[in-house]
Amino acid sequence: MGDMVKGNIAIAEAAVRAGARLYAGYPITPSTEVMEYLSDRMPEVGGVFVQAESEVAGINMVLGGAACGVRSFTASSGPGISLKQEAISEAADEELPLVVVTVVRYGDGLGTLSTGQSDYKRETNGGGNGDYRNIVLSPYSVQEAVDLMPVAFDLAEKYRMVAVIMTEASLGQMMEPCDYPEFQSAERLPGFFDGKHTNKKTCPLFKNRIQDAENQRAKYAAVKENEQRWQDGYVEDADYVFVAFGLPGRSAMGAVEQLRAEGHKVGFIRPITCWPFPEKAFEKVNPDVKGFISIESNATGQMVHDIALTTKKMKNDTPIYCNPHCYGIPTMKVIKEDFHTILAGKMKEVY
Protein backbone atom coordinates (compact mmCIF):
# COMPACT_ATOMS: atom_id res chain seq x y z
CA MET A 1 0.00 0.00 0.00
CA GLY A 2 1.34 3.41 -0.96
CA ASP A 3 1.75 6.56 1.08
CA MET A 4 -1.13 8.82 2.08
CA VAL A 5 -1.47 11.45 -0.64
CA LYS A 6 -3.89 14.35 -1.14
CA GLY A 7 -6.05 13.86 -4.23
CA ASN A 8 -4.91 16.98 -6.09
CA ILE A 9 -1.24 16.17 -5.48
CA ALA A 10 -1.74 12.59 -6.62
CA ILE A 11 -3.42 13.75 -9.83
CA ALA A 12 -0.57 16.14 -10.57
CA GLU A 13 2.14 13.52 -10.01
CA ALA A 14 0.22 10.94 -12.04
CA ALA A 15 0.12 13.38 -14.98
CA VAL A 16 3.88 13.87 -14.79
CA ARG A 17 4.41 10.11 -14.76
CA ALA A 18 2.03 9.80 -17.73
CA GLY A 19 4.41 11.97 -19.75
CA ALA A 20 2.81 15.41 -19.35
CA ARG A 21 5.44 18.13 -19.84
CA LEU A 22 3.37 21.31 -20.04
CA TYR A 23 1.00 22.66 -17.43
CA ALA A 24 -0.53 26.12 -17.67
CA GLY A 25 -3.30 27.38 -15.45
CA TYR A 26 -4.62 29.85 -12.94
CA PRO A 27 -5.31 29.21 -9.23
CA ILE A 28 -8.83 28.54 -7.97
CA THR A 29 -10.12 26.62 -4.97
CA PRO A 30 -10.43 23.61 -4.73
CA SER A 31 -7.95 22.71 -7.52
CA THR A 32 -5.03 25.04 -6.67
CA GLU A 33 -2.80 22.33 -5.17
CA VAL A 34 -2.44 20.79 -8.64
CA MET A 35 -0.59 23.83 -9.93
CA GLU A 36 1.23 24.50 -6.65
CA TYR A 37 2.75 21.04 -6.80
CA LEU A 38 3.64 21.30 -10.49
CA SER A 39 5.36 24.67 -10.06
CA ASP A 40 8.26 22.72 -8.54
CA ARG A 41 7.72 19.33 -10.11
CA MET A 42 7.60 20.23 -13.82
CA PRO A 43 11.10 21.81 -13.88
CA GLU A 44 12.48 18.70 -12.15
CA VAL A 45 11.46 16.51 -15.11
CA GLY A 46 12.35 18.98 -17.86
CA GLY A 47 8.79 20.17 -18.28
CA VAL A 48 7.27 23.63 -18.37
CA PHE A 49 5.00 25.19 -15.75
CA VAL A 50 3.23 28.49 -16.38
CA GLN A 51 1.00 30.37 -13.99
CA ALA A 52 -0.96 32.26 -16.63
CA GLU A 53 -2.60 35.63 -16.15
CA SER A 54 -6.05 34.08 -16.49
CA GLU A 55 -7.92 30.84 -17.09
CA VAL A 56 -8.36 31.81 -20.73
CA ALA A 57 -4.63 32.34 -21.22
CA GLY A 58 -3.83 29.05 -19.49
CA ILE A 59 -6.04 26.87 -21.65
CA ASN A 60 -4.79 28.53 -24.83
CA MET A 61 -1.19 27.88 -23.81
CA VAL A 62 -2.10 24.24 -23.26
CA LEU A 63 -3.84 24.16 -26.63
CA GLY A 64 -0.61 25.40 -28.20
CA GLY A 65 1.39 22.71 -26.44
CA ALA A 66 -0.96 20.00 -27.70
CA ALA A 67 -0.61 21.40 -31.24
CA CYS A 68 3.13 20.78 -30.93
CA GLY A 69 2.67 17.15 -29.88
CA VAL A 70 3.51 17.69 -26.19
CA ARG A 71 1.36 15.99 -23.55
CA SER A 72 -0.28 19.08 -22.04
CA PHE A 73 -2.95 19.67 -19.43
CA THR A 74 -4.62 22.20 -17.19
CA ALA A 75 -6.84 22.09 -14.11
CA SER A 76 -9.48 24.34 -12.63
CA SER A 77 -12.88 24.38 -10.93
CA GLY A 78 -16.36 25.77 -11.49
CA PRO A 79 -16.26 29.16 -13.25
CA GLY A 80 -12.60 28.60 -14.13
CA ILE A 81 -13.55 25.68 -16.38
CA SER A 82 -16.40 27.76 -17.83
CA LEU A 83 -13.88 30.38 -18.95
CA LYS A 84 -11.93 27.67 -20.80
CA GLN A 85 -14.83 26.46 -22.93
CA GLU A 86 -14.07 28.48 -26.08
CA ALA A 87 -10.57 27.03 -26.28
CA ILE A 88 -11.84 23.52 -25.52
CA SER A 89 -14.29 23.89 -28.41
CA GLU A 90 -11.38 25.02 -30.60
CA ALA A 91 -9.33 22.00 -29.50
CA ALA A 92 -12.22 19.76 -30.57
CA ASP A 93 -12.32 21.50 -33.95
CA GLU A 94 -8.56 21.16 -34.40
CA GLU A 95 -8.63 17.56 -33.07
CA LEU A 96 -5.92 18.32 -30.54
CA PRO A 97 -5.31 15.79 -27.75
CA LEU A 98 -5.24 17.50 -24.39
CA VAL A 99 -6.39 16.74 -20.86
CA VAL A 100 -8.47 18.98 -18.60
CA VAL A 101 -8.88 18.25 -14.89
CA THR A 102 -12.02 19.73 -13.33
CA VAL A 103 -12.26 19.56 -9.55
CA VAL A 104 -15.99 20.21 -9.32
CA ARG A 105 -17.43 22.48 -6.68
CA TYR A 106 -21.13 23.00 -6.06
CA GLY A 107 -23.18 25.93 -7.32
CA ASP A 108 -24.21 28.29 -10.10
CA GLY A 109 -22.25 31.39 -11.15
CA LEU A 110 -19.27 31.77 -8.84
CA GLY A 111 -20.70 28.90 -6.86
CA THR A 112 -19.46 27.76 -3.48
CA LEU A 113 -16.32 26.04 -2.23
CA SER A 114 -18.32 22.95 -1.23
CA THR A 115 -17.97 19.68 -3.08
CA GLY A 116 -20.52 18.80 -5.74
CA GLN A 117 -21.39 17.21 -9.07
CA SER A 118 -23.21 20.19 -10.53
CA ASP A 119 -21.07 20.39 -13.69
CA TYR A 120 -22.08 16.99 -15.10
CA LYS A 121 -24.18 18.45 -17.92
CA ARG A 122 -21.45 20.85 -19.02
CA GLU A 123 -18.72 18.24 -19.16
CA THR A 124 -20.73 15.45 -20.77
CA ASN A 125 -22.36 17.63 -23.42
CA GLY A 126 -19.43 19.88 -24.36
CA GLY A 127 -19.71 23.28 -22.70
CA GLY A 128 -18.65 25.47 -25.62
CA ASN A 129 -20.13 26.23 -29.01
CA GLY A 130 -20.58 23.47 -31.53
CA ASP A 131 -21.71 19.86 -31.19
CA TYR A 132 -18.50 18.21 -30.03
CA ARG A 133 -18.07 15.80 -27.13
CA ASN A 134 -15.24 15.21 -24.68
CA ILE A 135 -14.29 11.91 -23.10
CA VAL A 136 -15.19 12.31 -19.41
CA LEU A 137 -13.63 10.05 -16.77
CA SER A 138 -14.87 10.27 -13.19
CA PRO A 139 -12.86 8.58 -10.41
CA TYR A 140 -14.30 7.50 -7.06
CA SER A 141 -11.00 7.33 -5.17
CA VAL A 142 -7.56 8.92 -5.17
CA GLN A 143 -6.08 5.70 -6.50
CA GLU A 144 -8.56 5.54 -9.35
CA ALA A 145 -7.82 9.18 -10.21
CA VAL A 146 -4.13 8.25 -10.49
CA ASP A 147 -4.94 5.18 -12.58
CA LEU A 148 -7.17 7.17 -14.96
CA MET A 149 -4.64 9.93 -15.69
CA PRO A 150 -2.55 7.93 -18.21
CA VAL A 151 -5.79 6.54 -19.63
CA ALA A 152 -6.98 10.10 -20.24
CA PHE A 153 -3.83 11.02 -22.18
CA ASP A 154 -3.90 7.77 -24.15
CA LEU A 155 -7.55 8.22 -25.14
CA ALA A 156 -7.03 11.88 -26.03
CA GLU A 157 -4.26 10.86 -28.42
CA LYS A 158 -6.03 7.79 -29.78
CA TYR A 159 -9.12 9.77 -30.80
CA ARG A 160 -7.54 13.23 -31.19
CA MET A 161 -9.91 14.89 -28.74
CA VAL A 162 -10.13 16.42 -25.28
CA ALA A 163 -10.28 14.08 -22.29
CA VAL A 164 -11.66 15.39 -19.01
CA ILE A 165 -10.89 14.03 -15.55
CA MET A 166 -14.04 15.07 -13.67
CA THR A 167 -13.33 14.78 -9.99
CA GLU A 168 -14.85 16.56 -6.99
CA ALA A 169 -13.72 19.04 -4.35
CA SER A 170 -13.78 16.42 -1.60
CA LEU A 171 -11.71 13.95 -3.62
CA GLY A 172 -9.19 16.67 -4.50
CA GLN A 173 -8.77 17.64 -0.85
CA MET A 174 -8.89 14.29 0.92
CA MET A 175 -5.94 11.95 1.53
CA GLU A 176 -5.84 8.23 0.77
CA PRO A 177 -3.18 5.56 0.24
CA CYS A 178 -1.90 5.74 -3.31
CA ASP A 179 0.49 3.76 -5.52
CA TYR A 180 1.96 5.65 -8.47
CA PRO A 181 2.61 4.05 -11.88
CA GLU A 182 6.00 3.91 -13.53
CA PHE A 183 7.11 6.82 -15.70
CA GLN A 184 6.03 6.81 -19.34
CA SER A 185 7.99 8.27 -22.23
CA ALA A 186 7.62 12.03 -22.68
CA GLU A 187 8.50 12.05 -26.38
CA ARG A 188 6.60 14.46 -28.61
CA LEU A 189 3.99 12.96 -30.90
CA PRO A 190 4.73 12.89 -34.64
CA GLY A 191 2.54 14.75 -37.11
CA PHE A 192 2.18 17.96 -35.11
CA PHE A 193 3.85 21.36 -35.40
CA ASP A 194 7.60 20.99 -35.04
CA GLY A 195 8.88 24.29 -36.45
CA LYS A 196 9.84 22.71 -39.78
CA HIS A 197 6.62 22.68 -41.78
CA THR A 198 2.96 23.68 -41.71
CA ASN A 199 0.66 20.87 -40.76
CA LYS A 200 -2.57 21.65 -42.65
CA LYS A 201 -4.45 19.17 -40.47
CA THR A 202 -4.35 21.68 -37.60
CA CYS A 203 -5.62 24.70 -39.55
CA PRO A 204 -9.43 25.15 -39.86
CA LEU A 205 -9.03 27.20 -43.04
CA PHE A 206 -7.91 24.09 -44.91
CA LYS A 207 -10.69 21.76 -43.69
CA ASN A 208 -13.41 20.18 -45.80
CA ARG A 209 -16.23 20.93 -43.40
CA ILE A 210 -18.68 18.36 -44.78
CA GLN A 211 -16.09 15.60 -44.62
CA ASP A 212 -15.00 16.85 -41.21
CA ALA A 213 -18.55 16.47 -39.86
CA GLU A 214 -18.77 12.92 -41.19
CA ASN A 215 -15.42 12.07 -39.60
CA GLN A 216 -16.53 13.52 -36.28
CA ARG A 217 -19.71 11.41 -36.28
CA ALA A 218 -17.68 8.29 -37.01
CA LYS A 219 -15.16 9.14 -34.29
CA TYR A 220 -17.75 9.71 -31.59
CA ALA A 221 -19.56 6.53 -32.61
CA ALA A 222 -16.28 4.63 -32.18
CA VAL A 223 -15.73 6.16 -28.74
CA LYS A 224 -19.25 5.19 -27.65
CA GLU A 225 -18.76 1.64 -28.89
CA ASN A 226 -15.29 1.02 -27.51
CA GLU A 227 -14.66 3.21 -24.47
CA GLN A 228 -17.56 2.73 -22.05
CA ARG A 229 -16.24 2.03 -18.57
CA TRP A 230 -18.15 1.18 -15.41
CA GLN A 231 -18.30 -0.96 -12.29
CA ASP A 232 -21.42 -2.89 -11.36
CA GLY A 233 -22.66 -5.33 -8.77
CA TYR A 234 -25.72 -7.51 -8.13
CA VAL A 235 -27.64 -6.14 -11.12
CA GLU A 236 -28.69 -9.54 -12.51
CA ASP A 237 -31.24 -10.19 -9.76
CA ALA A 238 -31.86 -6.66 -8.52
CA ASP A 239 -35.33 -5.26 -7.92
CA TYR A 240 -33.78 -1.78 -7.71
CA VAL A 241 -30.50 -0.53 -9.18
CA PHE A 242 -28.63 2.48 -7.81
CA VAL A 243 -26.68 4.51 -10.38
CA ALA A 244 -24.00 6.87 -9.03
CA PHE A 245 -20.58 8.12 -10.09
CA GLY A 246 -17.63 9.58 -8.20
CA LEU A 247 -17.74 9.81 -4.42
CA PRO A 248 -21.51 9.29 -4.21
CA GLY A 249 -20.78 6.05 -6.05
CA ARG A 250 -18.77 4.89 -3.04
CA SER A 251 -21.67 5.67 -0.72
CA ALA A 252 -24.13 3.92 -3.02
CA MET A 253 -21.99 0.80 -3.21
CA GLY A 254 -21.77 0.69 0.59
CA ALA A 255 -25.52 1.22 0.92
CA VAL A 256 -26.16 -1.63 -1.51
CA GLU A 257 -24.03 -4.00 0.58
CA GLN A 258 -25.94 -3.05 3.75
CA LEU A 259 -29.34 -3.27 2.07
CA ARG A 260 -28.59 -6.71 0.66
CA ALA A 261 -27.49 -7.85 4.12
CA GLU A 262 -30.93 -6.70 5.29
CA GLY A 263 -32.66 -8.81 2.62
CA HIS A 264 -33.28 -6.24 -0.12
CA LYS A 265 -32.44 -7.27 -3.67
CA VAL A 266 -30.60 -4.16 -4.87
CA GLY A 267 -27.63 -3.58 -7.17
CA PHE A 268 -25.48 -0.74 -8.43
CA ILE A 269 -23.93 0.69 -11.58
CA ARG A 270 -21.05 3.13 -11.11
CA PRO A 271 -20.19 4.98 -14.34
CA ILE A 272 -16.46 5.54 -14.74
CA THR A 273 -16.96 7.19 -18.10
CA CYS A 274 -19.73 9.76 -17.81
CA TRP A 275 -19.27 10.25 -21.55
CA PRO A 276 -19.60 7.92 -23.22
CA PHE A 277 -22.33 7.01 -20.75
CA PRO A 278 -22.06 3.27 -19.96
CA GLU A 279 -25.22 2.14 -21.71
CA LYS A 280 -23.88 -1.40 -22.01
CA ALA A 281 -23.95 -1.77 -18.23
CA PHE A 282 -27.75 -1.69 -18.32
CA GLU A 283 -27.91 -4.71 -20.61
CA LYS A 284 -27.05 -6.96 -17.65
CA VAL A 285 -29.84 -5.65 -15.43
CA ASN A 286 -32.67 -7.93 -14.35
CA PRO A 287 -35.42 -7.49 -17.00
CA ASP A 288 -37.99 -7.42 -14.18
CA VAL A 289 -36.24 -4.59 -12.31
CA LYS A 290 -38.72 -2.33 -10.49
CA GLY A 291 -36.75 0.91 -10.50
CA PHE A 292 -33.50 2.77 -11.16
CA ILE A 293 -32.33 5.25 -8.51
CA SER A 294 -29.95 8.07 -9.49
CA ILE A 295 -27.70 9.24 -6.63
CA GLU A 296 -26.19 12.68 -7.33
CA SER A 297 -24.50 15.56 -5.46
CA ASN A 298 -26.36 18.45 -7.05
CA ALA A 299 -29.62 20.33 -6.64
CA THR A 300 -31.68 19.29 -9.66
CA GLY A 301 -30.50 15.90 -10.94
CA GLN A 302 -28.44 15.74 -14.12
CA MET A 303 -27.22 12.20 -14.74
CA VAL A 304 -30.80 10.99 -14.26
CA HIS A 305 -31.59 12.17 -17.80
CA ASP A 306 -28.88 9.92 -19.27
CA ILE A 307 -30.27 7.01 -17.30
CA ALA A 308 -33.70 7.72 -18.77
CA LEU A 309 -32.38 8.01 -22.32
CA THR A 310 -30.54 4.72 -21.93
CA THR A 311 -33.42 2.74 -20.50
CA LYS A 312 -36.02 4.17 -22.85
CA LYS A 313 -33.80 3.33 -25.82
CA MET A 314 -33.83 -0.23 -24.52
CA LYS A 315 -37.66 0.02 -24.49
CA ASN A 316 -37.60 -0.34 -20.73
CA ASP A 317 -40.31 1.72 -19.02
CA THR A 318 -39.08 1.02 -15.49
CA PRO A 319 -39.58 4.01 -13.15
CA ILE A 320 -36.52 6.18 -12.53
CA TYR A 321 -36.12 8.00 -9.22
CA CYS A 322 -33.81 10.85 -8.23
CA ASN A 323 -33.49 12.70 -4.94
CA PRO A 324 -30.35 14.79 -5.51
CA HIS A 325 -28.25 15.92 -2.56
CA CYS A 326 -26.26 19.16 -2.53
CA TYR A 327 -23.76 20.54 -0.02
CA GLY A 328 -21.88 17.36 0.56
CA ILE A 329 -21.70 13.70 -0.34
CA PRO A 330 -24.80 11.63 0.44
CA THR A 331 -24.03 9.10 3.15
CA MET A 332 -25.00 5.44 3.14
CA LYS A 333 -27.59 6.23 5.81
CA VAL A 334 -29.22 8.94 3.68
CA ILE A 335 -29.22 6.73 0.58
CA LYS A 336 -30.91 3.95 2.54
CA GLU A 337 -33.50 6.39 3.88
CA ASP A 338 -34.29 7.48 0.32
CA PHE A 339 -34.65 3.85 -0.70
CA HIS A 340 -37.21 3.17 2.02
CA THR A 341 -39.06 6.33 1.00
CA ILE A 342 -39.34 4.87 -2.50
CA LEU A 343 -40.53 1.51 -1.16
CA ALA A 344 -43.19 3.34 0.85
CA GLY A 345 -44.44 5.07 -2.30
CA LYS A 346 -43.57 8.53 -0.92
CA MET A 347 -41.10 9.53 -3.66
CA LYS A 348 -42.43 10.22 -7.15
CA GLU A 349 -40.45 8.91 -10.10
CA VAL A 350 -38.74 11.49 -12.36
CA TYR A 351 -39.36 9.37 -15.47
Give the per-residue pLDDT at 313: 87
Average pLDDT over residues 95-113: 95
Give the per-residue pLDDT at 172: 97
Domain boundaries, the chain: 3-226, 230-343
Least reliable range by pLDDT among 34-48, 199-213, 332-346: 199-213
Give the per-residue pLDDT at 198: 57
For the stretch 175-226, pLDDT in tens is: 999 999 999 988 898 888 877 765 555 554 456 666 777 888 899 999 999 9
Whether the model clears a pTM of 0.85, i.e. scores above it, the answer is yes
In Å, how far from its chain's centre is CA 153?
Answer: 13
For the stretch 146-177, pLDDT in tens is: 999 999 999 999 999 999 999 999 999 999 99
From 312, 307, 309, 311, select the one nearest 324 (Cα to Cα): 307
249-268 b/e with 16+ CB inside 10 Å = b? Answer: bbbbbbbbeebeeeebebbb
**119 CB burial (10 A radius; 0-12, 13-18, 19+):** buried
Q: Would the CATH topology of 3-226 be identical to that of 230-343?
A: yes
C-alpha span between 195 and 177 (Å, rounded): 43
For the stretch 282-337, pLDDT in tens is: 999 999 999 999 999 999 999 999 999 999 888 888 999 998 998 899 999 999 99
Residue type, 178: C
Give the per-residue pLDDT at 273: 98
Indicate the average pLDDT of the chain. Answer: 94
| E strands in 199-350 | 230-233, 240-243, 266-271, 273-275, 291-294, 320-322
Q: Report the length, in residues, of the chain.
A: 351
Give the confidence band of 44 by pLDDT, cuts at 50, 70, 90: very high
Give the confidence band of 127 by pLDDT, cuts at 50, 70, 90: very high
For the stretch 245-266, pLDDT in tens is: 999 999 999 999 999 999 999 9
The larger pLDDT score, comparing residue 189 to residue 58, is at: 58
Could you give the strand order of the β-sheet that contains 291-294, starting from the edge strand earlier in sequence?
Answer: 230-233, 266-271, 240-243, 291-294, 320-322
Q: Which CATH architecture has domain 3-226?
A: 3-Layer(aba) Sandwich (3.40)
Residue type, 55: E
C-alpha span between 234 and 254 (Å, rounded): 13
216 vs 63, 90, 113, 165, 205, CA distance in Å?
A: 19, 14, 36, 21, 17
Give the confidence band of 4 by pLDDT, cuts at 50, 70, 90: very high
Give the per-residue pLDDT at 205: 47
Right CATH number for 230-343 from 3.40.1080.10, 3.40.50.920, 1.10.760.10, 3.40.50.150? Answer: 3.40.50.920
